[in-house]
Amino acid sequence: MNRRSFLWGASLAAMARQAVAQEAKQGGGRGGRRGMMGGDSGRGLQPLDGGKIGNAGAMKITDIKTFLVGAGGRNWVYVKILTDQGIHGIGEAYSAGPDEATVKVIEDFKLWLVGNDPRNVQYLFDVMYNTTRFPGGLIVNSAISGIEHALWDIAGKSAGVPVWALLGGRTRNKIRTYQSTGGATPQQAGENAKAMIEKYGYTALKMGIQAPGAMPYNQTIRDTVAHVKAVREAVGPDIDIGVDVHAKFFEAQRAIRLGNAIAEFNPMWMEESIRTENFAAMKKVSDHVNIPLASGECNYMIHEFRPLLELQALDFVQPDICCCGGMLTMKKIAAMAEAQYIMVAPHNPMSPLATAVNVHFAASTPNFYILEYSAPDSGARKDVLKEPIMVKKDGYVDIPNKPGWGVELNEEAFKSMPPAPWKRGTSFRSDGSPYFQ
């Protein structure tokens, strides 16, 4: 596209945006309040009893703000929804790479949501999901997820209860967590794993594998076995060890060979043993290894997870609450998994706000197993929330008991955390061709 046509396209988009905003202002049309709240057009959700929900008064979304925060090498994308009752809600969208794009999508959804009651979470999810029509990818689904979190935070604060209390209440007293570790050599990996377990009291950890692209395949197997063996010997027989392949293998058969090679060390699971687009290939792996398998961080919405779960190709499913669709979608995925006797171990590499959201999911979900976690005791993790949820000395975290998520963004700290463009580095095979990682 040349510059002239690009500018023409941009001005057309700006005009369309203006038109939608004008419709919303006037209370009509596809994005207008009357269109979605009912009003005299009769379309969309009609307020009950003047908009009251139980004893809580009527409420409307007045604004949706975003914060793009530099986390040291990566950005975190936050959503803040404001209401006419002075209650606000916060959420986190996945850091997709082109994070500015996620911010733009959130700003677009704002046109559809302002004027609505934020407590009708499923309805507003449906408005966003149906409005896009085409199934979203990482950016759209991350925007939906971050907004949805903020709606839940408002719903909890409005009712005066933690979000977990709106999701069926607690099923447990505390939340089990694990953290990732590594090391360039097997000896370093063992020492690092032992030090981390001793410091935080974790009952589980996760480790990556040596990159298979730049070295002979047999060497990848040998190196991975040596690392897993060293970590197992360092932490003892009863610490759970997740081995994350990060979909670095393309061929199912090679993932099978790796799985069988590490089986003697009793891993908690082998994670993303191959890429996630081909469920039949994932089933092939599960049919030929004798260790638990985990995957799901790259999948979205109930419609992708249903066939994956029905295949019985996994023992642990790992949706990410910042991109899979949000809390309600996670609960639905968990329910489908429960019916398949599959546990949920949420993927959670984002910020301490994502951890807080996941803790409410974990508290209320019977087939929750363990939460990915990074202790917020250094760097950006220490600063982005006023009171991040800190692991206790037994490897578990407490369940918040304040209204909403029970945590708040430290917006003052954001002033010294400017965002920077971020994208994944590319890995190359020895012949120069890039590989998935």
Nearest CB to Mg ion, comparing residues 23 and 320 = 320
Binding segment (CB under 5 A) for Mg ion, from list 117-125, 128-136, 240-248, 353-361: 240-248
Measured CA to CA in angstroms, residue 4 lies from 52, 101, 176, 366 at distances of 51, 22, 55, 56
Active site residue 238: no
Report the C-alpha gap between 67 and 80 in whole angstroms.
8
What sign results for the dihedral spanned by CA atoms 283, 96, 327, 268? positive
Rounded to a whole number of angstroms, the minimum distance from the CB of residue 47 to Mg ion is 43
Name the active-site residue from 223, 246, 408, 411.
Answer: 246
| Comparison of 150 and 285: residue with beta carbon closer to Mg ion | 285
Nearest residue to Mg ion on Cβ basis = 244
Distance CA 342, CA 333 (A): 10
Considering 148, 297, 304, 315, which one is annotated as catalytic?
A: 297
User: Catalytic one among 271, 304, 315, 383?
Assistant: 271
Smallest gap from Cβ 317 to Mg ion, in A, equals: 12
Q: Is 320 an annotated catalytic residue?
A: yes
Amino acid (one-letter) located at 34: R
The one catalytic residue in 23, 92, 108, 244 is: 244
What long-range pairs does 21-27 form, CB within 8 A, spacing at least 24? 21/111, 24/111, 24/112, 24/114, 24/115, 27/115
For residue 161, give every residue at least 6 positions away whose Cβ sits within 8 Å of its Cβ, in sequence order, or none. 403
Distance in angstroms (rounded) separating the CA atoms of residues 59 and 107: 20
Quote the least distance from Cβ 298 to Mg ion, whole Å. 9
Nearer to Mg ion by Cβ, of 242 and 395: the residue is 242
Pick 240 or 244: Cβ nearer Mg ion? 244
Is 244 near Mg ion (CB under 5 A)?
Answer: yes
Nearest distance from C-beta of residue 245 to Mg ion, angstroms: 8
Q: Contacts with Mg ion in 270-289 (CB under 5 A)?
A: 271
Pairing of strands 75-83, 61-70: antiparallel
Number of residues that bind Mg ion (CB under 5 A): 2
Cβ distance to Mg ion smaller for residue 87 or 247: 247
Residues 363-380 as b/e (b if ≥16 CB within 10 A, e otherwise) read: bbbebbbbbbbbbbeeeb
Q: Which is nearer to Mg ion, 235 or 345 (CB)?
A: 345
| 3-state class (DSSP) for residue 410 | coil
Residue 191 a catalytic site member: no
Residue range at the interface with Mg ion (CB under 5 A); choices 71-79, 125-133, 266-274, 354-362: 266-274
394 given a catalytic annotation:
no
Q: Which is nearer to Mg ion, 120 or 358 (CB)?
A: 358
Q: Would you tell me the crossing angle of helices 121-132 and 99-113 to the nearest 10 degrees?
A: 120
Q: Are 37 and 116 in contact (CB under 8 A)?
A: yes
Minimum distance of Mg ion from residue 283's CB (angstroms): 19
198 is catalytic: no
Alpha-carbon radius of gyration of the chain? 23
> Is 244 among the catalytic positions?
yes
Stretch that binds Mg ion, among 131-139, 228-236, 237-245, 282-290 (CB under 5 A): 237-245
Cβ at position 276, least distance to Mg ion in Å: 10
Q: Which residues are known to be catalytic?
A: 244, 246, 271, 297, 320, 347
Contacting residues toward Mg ion, per CB under 5 A: 244, 271
